[in-house]
Structure 1
Amino acid sequence: MRDPIGSAAIALIAATAWLPVVFLVRSYRKRINDVHRLGNDLARTRAELQACEADLKHAQTLACAGTTQDIVEREELEASLREQREFFRLISESIGEHIAVLDLEGQRLYNSPSYRQIFGDTRELRGSDSFADVHPDDRERVQQVFKETTRTGRGQEIEYRLVRQDGSVRHMASTGRVITDQQGRAARVVVVSHDITDRKQAEQWERIAATAFESQQGMFITDAHSVILRVNQAFSTITGYSAADCVGRTPKMLSSGRHDAAFYAAMRASIEGTGVWRGEIWNRRKNGEVFAEWLTISAVRDSEGKVTHYVSALTDVSEYKAAQEEIERLAFYDALTGLPNRRLLHDRLRVAIATSARSDRQGALLFIDLDNFKTLNDTLGHDMGDHLLRQVAKRLSGCVRERDTVARLGGDEFVIMLDDLDGRTDEAAGQCRIVGEKVLAVLNHPYDLAGHEYQNTPSIGVTLFGGQHGSAIDDLMKRADLAMYEAKAAGRNTLRFFDPRMQAVVTARAALEKDLREAIRKQDFVLYYQPQVDGVGRIIGAEALLRWQHEQRGIVSPAEFIPLAEETGLILPLGLWVLETACAQAALWAAQPGREHFTVSVNVSARQFRLPNFVEQVLAVLAAGANARNLELELTESMLLDNIEDTIVKMTALKERGVSFSLDDFGTGYSSLSYLKRLPLDQLKIDQSFVRDLLTDPNDEVIARTIITLAASLGLSVIAEGVETVEQRDVLAAQGCHAYQGYLFSPPLPAADFARFLQAP
């Protein structure tokens, strides 16, 4: 890329360099006219002197006697001639012009001393041919002008080249004037010349600068205040802005908005410190298109070092950037599918491994191989095979998060890299299994291959990395590959882990999910109810707790299947069943005399609460016969933090209908008073983890007391769960908590047993 500083500076200098030349030429012309007049006077004086000398030479002796003659006039004439010669010499040496007197054949009769001084000539020039020093290419033209001058008596100005004794060439401008004798005939020619080499070079540089300024490189010149003074055609072609659009405005008109203030501050600092800035910048064309350009800005300073102008040169590098991107695409991306190739996968995997080591999080590789792909190529051809691979790539990309990587290794082999998985092995394996099962389901859908419906299945091998698992890239690839072959050996269209223990965990979770889906379909669930009592032992409500009655396992703990239901989305139909069953039971108990205010508390999952129609779903359940005042929804702190505004809107809508809210497990999460005071809560629930060691751990006692005090200050009721001893109850009562739930009063009971518990004296 060319540096525009020199060419632009030349353009500025050349634009004004001709001004002193004009004044110089005018001065020279006046001097030339003076010399011509002097030459004519000198010629006439010389002619008179020569006539006198001729008369004396041819005078005949008339007598032997001596004679005398008055020579005063002759001496005065000779003195005048010497004076004029000296005057001519002084003028010719002082005016800086090169004066020559030639005869009518062009032979030199006189040359001013300046000729030798400037042209370095040591020869005796008198009597030499004046045309011999003219450049051969100009000689004939100069001779023709000289002849025309002697013939017509009218001088002409002519420019030509003169060759110096050392061979160098100078440009000259000469004017000849004819000097006549007493009869008015041409006798001599006085030629006054001056060296115009500097002017010619300036004109040449001006043409070069003008040509450079109008080059293919965009250029613009501003004043010291960055106001645009001039732009070239290339600038207009690149940006779309004409000179009329730009002149008088600043380069800010080109700003794309992609660079911050720090970028421009660094640019200004570079120009102020070094006089130049070079770099890549994104600007905007007149049509709004943003493009990349390489920009050079140079400061132009005067003799005192003060900035007078800025010269900027820009080159559109959009095509270069596109070429770079194409090169990168060819180097790092698969040409058929557009997915990252093996090289880019290894680069990203190297970064993911390092990140995993720092964050104590795990990652995974899923090695995917299409089953019986060779058969497709053999039957329908490689074009159909390529078509299938492109569709597979698109489907795989839709199965993962944006930060994950889907790569094609070659042939029908693909790899998915998952990062930022759970730090625990079993949880990370479960996350991998979810993705793997999604991939299996998506790739099992039929493919449309140019009108042919085609069914294909994958085999998937999985290995984890980070934590206790090896981190060498080659080893990871081998493990995933081996696991993939295990999947093929197991009958294909399945998923296998490299670690057998992990495989056992994944298999167990897969079996549990299958059973859970079947249980939801058959409604193999039951609600247990744990009583909530007040300070005098009166039953004021109950918490509904879900139990799974498994055919082989018996009663399955919620801690075992609720997280799986959350991950798979099965919590939504399960949560709706719990809400419907609990509300129906609450309506039965509230119908009993004296139990109009009996409440049933139902835990709501985060996924369930985030449903856009959650409020409508609850109201529809209540419309089946339950009273909203008998329903209390228990929320956890973590689910409230995701979208506090949406949470407040939903809670407010339900509370206006009579539903109450309790904040479960308060103090175990990231409690925030700023949101706590905004939420339309009715109750805080002291978590059993604080109640369990209430009598032995001072910290738990302080936390429980603080929660009770906070609830009172916010106008909320408070209840403690996990109360198992009278001593715990008494400490809580002394601190101001008068509602309890725990085994001290009763374990969770089936509905029938709970009904009998209500009737007990």
Structure 2
Amino acid sequence: MSAVEGPQSPVAASAHALSLELLLQNLPGVVYRCLVDADWTMEFISAGVEKLTGYPPSAFLARPGVNFATLIHPDDRAAAERGVALALQQGRSFQLTYRIRCADGSLKWVYEHGAAPPEGGGRIIEGFIFDYTQLRNANMLVYEQASFLQQARDAIIAMEMNSRITYWNSGAERLYGWSASEARGKKFCELLCENLPAYHAAYETTLTNGEWSGELSHLRRDGVCIETDTRWTLMAADRESGAPQKILVISTDISERKHNEAKIFHLAFFDPLTDLPNRASLLDHLRRALLGSARTRKCGALMFCDLDNFKYLNDSQGHAAGDMLLQAVARRMEHCVREADMVARLGGDEFVILIQPVEDTREGAASQAETVAAKVVAAMAAPFQLAEMMYSVSVSVGVTTMCGTVDTVESTLRQADAAMYQAKACGRNTYRFHDPAVQAAWSARAELENGLRRALRDEEFVLHYQPQLDRSSRVIGAEALLRWRLPNGKLLYPSEFIQALEESGLIIDIGRWVLRTACAELARWQRWPDTAGLTLSVNVSASQFTEPDFVPMLQQIFEETGVQPSSLKLELTESLVVSDFTHTAHTMATLKQRGISFSLDDFGTGYSSLAYLRKLPLDQLKIDHSFMRDVLTDQNDASIVRSIIALGDSLGLQVIAEGVETPGQRQFLSDAGCFIYQGFLYQHALSAEHFTQYARMVH
């Protein structure tokens, strides 16, 4: 029998035992055999137990010795015993993890794998135990980190370089609607990306720079597009674990934020009534258009569109009807322009159209703008359906061409505005292009209005007084006449600024100043015996006389100045009497009770009805100087003057003529029965001091 086939020799058996012992000593753990009894009595335990527990093998083999079961943590012991008992009962191996208390008092996690060998008859257990602490802690860390990723609100996704998804957390499930099992293996770009060029740009940047961040539009499972704030990070390959290179994607849903930002932007740059761009938006687009025009040398146009008589609709039908009209007008205007052009609403009934600078010349831009302007005027011609009412409106359009090399935002707006006013001056319901001459006139007008405001603030206005005389050439009163003394000393007359006062609304404030100043001067006259009997006529504009507080304002002036109202005469125009007879008559009657008298100024130039004259509490008719100029040479003027004098006499009204400049004119008036005169034949308008001297001299 050979050595191989026959039984082992003692030498071979000894060598085998030494080899086995050496193997057991070098195992990173403990090999054991124990009895299945109350103390789990150890029959064999390898040397590794000392490194694991701090106790030598002899401590477990001694009788009595250390019971390994007593090292198991009390909280884990019962579970370990149940696990072994169940495995033995079922005739299978067992695997356990539990904590042990070492000789130095420290705790370790161990893993035990064991079974009852067949030849032991269920009375012996053999097994293997090793230190599981480090591996368990590593696993726990992995589990913890995975839990963090799962609980994150953001969508966290890992994809391979070919875009296939390998990780998909709960945040991604919530955000996109696919479960992790459904998403894994799918391509990121095909599953989520609405904008593939944006995906590829992010991908290339990530490969080049190692990361990318920005906003991407993603598609949810239900087809809804959402906005995300996304960060991509390139993860290096792990050679030890064999993990390939991947891209980590973290996305936050910013759809609500983007929606709110869009709402804020809309509120800031769009008109809430018509949903058109507002003034701020227009100014921004106009600025950009001019900058682009300066680069390209192209020309465009700007159009101011103002609805004619819009205020009447608001006043007669209410603001709801006015709002409906503005909305309808906005829609019609939008249909008059190209897609690249812009319709905006500045406010009220003011709309603006910006024609983008794409033409090579101003002439080409003007031609395009004229086409649009004609469309706008024509579009407004058809009546508008406002609820149950049909309403017609027209529009005045001002057009100016623009080029960024010359024009500015301010100059373009100013020119279009001036052109619009020119369209209104030409009868409305039309369009006009900017005219430099008209612009100069408007600039002068604006400068005049500013000067008038300054004059009121800096007390540059003065009153002069033109004497009024009777048939004996005695001064019986005066008319207060407004003058504007400029800072350079030049004196301006009302004909040079009264229209600007009326149209700017400053006539109300100036009129109040005139009445206060005139009453203060009249009060001074009343304090001296030789001037106490004089009357003072003051012109009152229609807009001032119809002010609701006109009567209280006058009463306050009387109280402040101490003047006796019986010497005050208010001169009213025929236009005021005709336009609002009822209100005028009521106000006149109220003031008449306070002793004030009234003169109808410029009589004969308007359309006075004799019935009005009879019903109003008038005291005097004033013949306009325009009739007096040719009264001696023009038979028609002579007849009109005689008729006015006769009418005044028949109505019991005093008649005064202004503009009397020659003795012949005075004689004509005297022969016709008019005996009160005012004009250069006697005296120009004088300062307060000089008038008082003159009145005393000819009294």
Please give the TM-score of this superposition, normalised by the length of structure 1: 0.41
